[in-house]
Structure 1
Amino acid sequence: MTTRLPTFFLSHGGGPWPFMDGDYRRAHAKLEASLRALPATLPEKPKAILMISAHWEETAFTVMDAPAPGMLYDYGGFPPHTYEVVYPAPGDPALAERVVALIEAAGLPAARDSQRGFDHGAFCTLAPMFPQADVPVVQLSLKRGLEPAEHLALGRALAPLRDEGVLILGSGFSFHNLRLYGLSGREPSAAFDGWLQSALPSPAGRAERLLAWALAPAARIAHPREEHLLPLMVAAGAAEGDAASCNYHETDFMGGVTASSFRFG
């Protein structure tokens, strides 16, 4: 019998950090430790993973349906070897079709993509968690327009997957203003993170708080563009009646930023 799995919003760090050494990798040490520890907190090993990455936007919610997805190196300025790394997890075409069916049944637009590879929001989160790449992965896009209500609705539509052995992961970042990493981001990231810590734990009224996220302290400084926050909406929507807890938190990421990840259920 399959146990209901939790959902997660994960801060995924910068670029191809799991495949690097030195100071840049060490700056992600707390994040890496949290990701490595995550599988042991699950009630059972997932049959598959549905990954919603901040780094993919389409006009409809689009599902990767290839049986063996490739790689998309959607970053720049990193060492040459980081453009050759491979995360060889298989796809799951049957799960992709199930996802499309659930999205369409909810009255939302859905599409398929058999060509796109895993982006770094996906593979740099998964590599520490499942280094053997032995869990099938299906990646799902955000929808252009970046409407919170649509992404909460997407999460609600996907909720049945939790009872089917599918681990739903939203990969983004709790603070994503690339001009303010370091000390200049200390105050706004702490202010917005404080709001997340108060807004997410209780399911009562959480959806309403998330819909009004732009009114939170330092919200538009923390997220000038909200694509790195919307995977949170999907994870929360898929676990709408469940309490949430913070499973990763630090106050000095990249020299001063407060960053967090959250578990729902």
Structure 2
Amino acid sequence: MSSSPTNIPPNDPRINQGHQEHRTTGSRPSTSTSSVSTSTSPTTILLAILSVLSAVLIAYLVNCSTTVSTDEDASTVSRFFPLTRLFSSRQSVVRPVANSVDHQLKSSIANLGTEGSGFKMRTPVYFISHGGPNVMYERDHPAYAKLQELGREITTKVKPRAVVVFSAHWQAGRDTIQVNTAEITDLIYDFYGFPSHYYKEKFPNVGSKEIAQKVMDALRDAGIKAEGVKRGLDHGVWAGFKCAFDPETNPLKVPIVQVSLFGTEDPAQHYKLGQALSKLRDENILIIGSGMAVHNLRDMHFTFGDPRPLPYTVSFDEALKDAATAPVEKREQAMVDLLKRPDARQAHPFFDHILPVHIAAGAAGDDKGRRLWTLKSGSMSWAQFRFGEPATNGSL
């Protein structure tokens, strides 16, 4: 846009405004180019400033268009700055193609895992009873449907940026916790005597060095020894997760970092382990404990074909509910006392499957526990717990 006064008609009032001094001296204002160029009107100055600002804005928008990293970002910039459509190119939002399926999966899940992470939400904590690998195939089993419900709650309401999970099937040292730092993780088929196709099952997943480091830092801040290792996911994670997060109908799409238990049966030690990681919940990281509410494989042959629960299954399952849902100030002691009950060793000949709920309760902080569902069957209980409420990130 030109600001030259030669484009202004001689009788334009802007000339008189720009040369007021001629009126005060009684002389006629000149309309020549040389005369007008010797002074500048406010309007001319304003037009010049607008021209400069327009140039700066265009340069800024061109720069924005070359730094867009995703299609979603591109649409957002275009919506608020429509001129970017003139300068942006499709090439600017295309990511390099990965060299393998694993790396494609890693890239896509990692990117999806960061969506919505700007919201400062405190995630709830879950304990799931994962069952055996056969739960993936027994779709008429009530536990299958309940795991699906829980999975949909997590993907549609909680929407975490990552999941940190403790499985009954991984114990480390007596005073040391191990954290899986692998980003591409295989599956561990840690079960025996099942049909051959069980050992060909797949569950797409990726890990995260960033989240693993956050876990180790939090543990060390709490005075707990922690070390990174590379390991696959055992079936205490992937079998239950495949029911909850079906890869085709309800994919999780965020990194999964598995963390070990201690190599002890100390409930207080595991409760404090959960407490050490509670602050991760403020970063939209979801903590899940995976075990069984009652787990006695030795007595399964007594109940084969008979779904009626054994007496200790009923009594311990209810005692677990009372402890996990106790007032916050009494919960830690109640969870410790739970494993001192006379029926505790009947319900759990080994405490590895119950200790993940102690970790979950410790990570819950001031949030109350709630039993979402239970099924007492033979020498097993499938109780599922949640601590806190699943505030909906997407609704903010």
Whether the TM-score (by the shorter chain) exceeds 0.5 is yes
Does the CA contact (< 8 Å) of 2:152 and 2:244 recur in 1? no
Are positions 1:45 and 2:164 aligned together? no
Are positions 1:232 and 2:351 aligned together? no
SS of equivalent to 1:168: strand
Matches of residues 130-169 of structure 1 in structure 2 within 5 Å?
130-132=245-247, 133=251, 134-169=253-288
Does the CA contact (< 8 Å) of 2:296 and 2:380 recur in 1? no
Counterparts of 1:107 and 1:262 in 2: how far apart (Å)?
Answer: 28
Matches of residues 200-215 of structure 1 in structure 2 within 5 Å?
200-202=324-326, 203-215=328-340
Kindly provide the amino acid, as one letter, of the partner of residue 283 in structure 2.
E
Kindly provide the amino acid, as one letter, of the partner of residue 30 in structure 1.
P
Are positions 1:196 and 2:320 aligned together? yes
SS of equivalent to 1:90: coil
Aligned equivalent of 1:180: 299
Counterparts of 2:129 and 2:344 in 1: how far apart (Å)?
Answer: 16
Greater than 4 Å deviation, 4+ residue runs: none
Counterparts of 1:91 and 1:261 in 2: how far apart (Å)?
Answer: 25
* Gap regions ≥5 residues in structure 1: none
Asked which structure has the greater CA Rg, the reply is: 2
- Segment of structure 1 superposing worse, 37-46 or 162-171: 37-46
SS of equivalent to 1:242: coil
Does the CA contact (< 8 Å) of 1:193 and 1:259 recur in 2? no
Aligned equivalent of 2:146: 34
Does the CA contact (< 8 Å) of 2:267 and 2:335 recur in 1? yes
Are positions 1:79 and 2:195 aligned together? yes
Q: Find the partner of 1:219 among 309, 320, 344.
A: 344
SS of equivalent to 2:295: coil
Kindly provide the amino acid, as one letter, of the partner of residue 168 in structure 1.
I
SS of equivalent to 2:375: strand
Counterparts of 1:175 and 1:161 in 2: how far apart (Å)?
Answer: 28
Counterparts of 2:380 and 2:236 in 1: how far apart (Å)?
Answer: 19
Q: Cα deviations across residues 112-141 of structure 1 (Å, max 9, x unaligned)?
A: 111x11000000121122222522100000
Higher-RCO chain (CA-CA 8 Å, sequence separation at least 6): 1
Does the CA contact (< 8 Å) of 1:192 and 1:222 recur in 2? yes
Q: After TM superposition, give the deviation of residue 260 of structure 1 in Å.
A: 0.9
Higher strand proportion: 1
* Gap regions ≥5 residues in structure 2: 1-118, 389-396
Counterparts of 1:212 and 1:250 in 2: how far apart (Å)?
Answer: 23
- Segment of structure 1 superposing worse, 207-216 or 4-13: 207-216
SS of equivalent to 1:66: coil
Counterparts of 1:227 and 1:190 in 2: how far apart (Å)?
Answer: 19
Q: Find the partner of 1:263 among 363, 380, 386.
A: 386
Q: Percent identity among equivalent residues?
A: 36
Q: Find the partner of 1:58 among 172, 175, 183.
A: 172
Higher helix proportion: 2
